[in-house]
A and B are shown apart, each in its own frame.
Chain A
Amino acid sequence: MTSARNRELLALVPVAALLTAGFAAVFSQENEQLGNLSLIYGAYFLAICLAAHVYLRIRLPNADPYLFPLMATLTAFGLVMIYRIDETLARDQANWFVLGLILFALTIQFLRDYEVLERYRYTIAIAGLLLLLAPRVPGIGQQVNGAYLGVKIGPIAFQPAEFTKLAIIVFLASYLREHREVLIVGARRVLGVTLPPLKHFGPLLVVWGASMFMLVFIRDLGSSLMFFAAFLALLYVATGRFSFVVIGMAMFLLGAWFFASTVPHVHERVEIWLHPYNEPENAGYQILQSIFAQADGGLFGKGFGQALITVPGTDDALLPAAQTDTIYSLIVNEVGLFGAVGVVLVYTMIAARGFKIALLASDGFSKLLATGLTAVFAIQAFVIIGGVTRVIPLTGVTLPLVSYGGSSIVANFVLLALLLLISDRARREAAEPAGRMAAMGAPA
Chain B
Amino acid sequence: MNRQIVQLFAFVLALFAVLIGFTSYWSVFDAEALKEQDANKRPLLEQQQIPRGRILAADGTLIAKSVAKGKGSSKRYVRRYPEGPLFGHPIGYSFVRYGDSEFEQFHNEELVGEGSEFSSIADELLGHAQEGNDIVTNIDTEAQRLAQSELEEAGYGAVVALDPETGAVEVMASNAPYDPNRVPYEYSKLANEGIETPLLNRATQGRYPPGSTFKVVTAAAGLDSGAITPETPIDAPGSLEVEGTPLENDFGKDFFGATLDTALTNSVNTWFGQLGQQLGNDTLFEYMDRFGFNAKPAIDLPEEEVLPSGVYDIENDELLHANDPVDLARVAIGQERLLATPLQMAQVAAAVANGGKLMKPQIWKRVIDPDGRTVDTMDPSVYSDAVSEETAAELTTAMEGVVNEGTGTNAAISGVAVAGKTGTAETPGNLACGGGAEENQAWFIGFAPADDPQTAIAVSIECTPEFGGDVAAPIFRDVAEAILNGE
Interface residues of A (CB under 8 A from B): 30, 233, 236-238, 240, 277, 280-281, 284, 288, 291-299, 303, 308, 311-314, 318, 332, 336-337, 340-341, 344, 347-348, 351-352, 355, 358-359, 364, 367-368, 371, 375, 378-379, 381-382, 385-386, 389-391, 440
Contacts and interface: CB of A to CB of B under 8 A. Distances in A.
Contacts of A308: 42, 45-46
A312 B16 contact: no
B9 A295 contact: no
Contact of B74 (A303, A312, A341, A381): A312
Contacts of B31: 294-296, 298
Contact of B9 (A284, A296, A355, A381): A355
Interface string B63-76: 00000011001111
Contacts of A332: 23, 26-27
B73 to A, nearest CB: 7
B45 A318 contact: yes
B37 interface: yes
A371 B16 contact: no
B464 to A, nearest CB: 44
B3 interface: yes
Name the residue among A30, A293, A337, A344 with the largest chain B CB count within 10 angstroms.
A337
* The 5 A-B residue pairs with the shortest CB-CB distance in the complex, in nearest-first order: A280-B39, A295-B34, A389-B22, A295-B31, A294-B26
A277 B12 contact: no
A238 B75 CA distance: 58
Given A312-B45, A337-B23, A375 B8 contact: yes
Given A240-B3, A337-B23, A440-B2, A382 B42 contact: no
B76 A313 contact: yes
Name the residue among B1, B38, B39 with the largest chain A CB count within 10 angstroms.
B1
B1 A364 contact: yes
A332 B23 CA distance: 8
B19 A351 contact: no
B30 interface: yes
Query: Which size class do B's interface residues fall under?
Result: 35 or more
Contacts of B4: 236-238, 240
Contacts of B49: 312
B8 A389 contact: no
A174 to B, nearest CB: 15
B452 interface: no
Contacts of A237: 1, 4-5, 8
B309 interface: no
Given A233-B8, A288-B39, A292-B40, A348 B70 contact: no
A295 B5 contact: no
B27 A236 contact: no
B18 A386 contact: yes
B48 interface: yes
Given A237-B1, A312-B70, A351-B12, A359 B27 contact: no
Nearest to A319: B42
